[in-house]
Amino acid sequence: MPSGRVHEAINLTTLGLMGLAYLATGPRKDLADPGVLAFTMSYLVGTFLITPDLDLAEKRVRAKGRWGVLGVLWWPYGAVFRHRGLSHTWVLGPLTRLVYLALVLYLLWLFLGGVYAYLAGGRLPALLLLPGLPKEVLLQALLGYYLSQWLHLLADGILPDRDLRRRPR
């Protein structure tokens, strides 16, 4: 199974090739297009920060290290998800990490809100995720993230039919 470094190299090479193909054949050829930027950003996030191997986050794993002290936030994910189990499926796997992160951020916000209310007697402003981004841009972001995860799975030798063949934990 490829190391984290190899996964990153594969993903970056593919991103470079996609960029060249886009510049050569894309309708707008504009790398500053919001959709292209959203795709690229979330693809990079999926390559370096939120990878399927966070299911090893109870140990040492490259992506967790990139979070610095916040890497500890991924520990429960690593504890709950078996390595290369549900985390390494095509449809649900990437979703588990997004839902997990949203949950952690929400709990963190609740906690900070509680502390703030206790200390300052006020309320934190409502948590607004992805405020007002056009649907098309959000879709591109989701596509970039999923593609980065799928390349990881392919490099691990996991094909899409795995989702159908058996029901991983």
**Count of CA atoms in the C-beta half-sphere (13 A) of 63:** 28
Note whether 163 binds Zn ion by CB under 5 A: no
- Residue from 36, 48, 53, 140 touching Zn ion (CB under 5 A): that is 53
Pick one of 52, 78, 93, 94: the residue that binds Zn ion (CB under 5 A).
Answer: 52
Binding piece for Zn ion, criterion CB under 5 A, among 27-35, 49-57, 119-127, 160-168 = 49-57
Which residues in the 102-161 window bind Zn ion by CB under 5 A?
A: 156
55 near Zn ion, rule: CB under 5 A: no
Give which of 47, 50, 44, 38 is closest to 138, Cα–Cα: 38
Residues in binding contact with Zn ion, number by CB under 5 A: 3
Q: Is 78 in the site for Zn ion (CB under 5 A)?
A: no
- Least distance between Zn ion and beta carbon 43 (Å): 17
- As a whole number of angstroms, the distance between CA 34 and CA 2 comes to 32
- Residues near Zn ion, by CB under 5 A: 52-53, 156
